[in-house]
Structure 1
């Protein structure tokens, strides 16, 4: 995994893990790879993965069965979407609105591009 300098690594790992859940690669009640397995796979320190797991537990996206490992929580997809939507609305949307205002982009034009994007990326 290639990490960006713009966001903490543990949050980028959280994004990766959430994506696995949203794509149904990790389903509710599935055991996820261990902290060590993820650390090796992502080429990071196990402590960084542990911090990610603590972060995701805080939002009830995963839970720990002591001695067994971490599992995807029931309703994780809904919780992920809610969290990501809140983060998007607070952090990215204002800049996006600023850009479309400065560039005089109309909402109808955006809708057309969005529909093309959906067709080409999510068939």
Structure 2
């Protein structure tokens, strides 16, 4: 995993875990990789993964069954969507709008590119 400089690594790993849950690669109610396994997979210190899992437990996205491991919560998808929407709307969207304005980019062009992106990346068509 390539990490960005502007965000703490544990938060980037949290985004990775959330994406796996949203894409149903790690279904709700199912066991997710152990701290050690995820640390090895992402080539990070297990303590960083512990911090990620603690963060996600505080958000009630995952939970720990003592002695068994970590699991995605049954309502993890809804919690992730709410958390990430709030995060996006509060921090990323204002920067995006400012850039659109400064570069004089039309929203119709954004819509066309978004539809093309969804089609290529997720093999879907937008309504």
TM bucket, shorter chain: over 0.9
Q: Does the residue aligned with 2:51 lie in a helix, a strand or coil? A: helix
Counterpart in the other structure of 2:21: 21
For the aligned residue pairs, the C-alpha RMSD in angstroms reads 1.1
Moved over 3 A (4+): none
Q: Does the residue aligned with 1:28 lie in a helix, a strand or coil? A: coil
TM-score by length of 2: 0.91
Counterpart in the other structure of 2:104: 104
**Distance in structure 1 (CA, Å) of the matches to 2:43 and 2:109:** 42
Q: Any gaps of 5 or more consecutive residues in structure 2?
A: none
Aligned counterparts, 1:40-119, within 5 A: 40-119=40-119
TM-score by length of 1: 0.94
Number of aligned residues: 123
**Distance in structure 1 (CA, Å) of the matches to 2:119 and 2:41:** 32
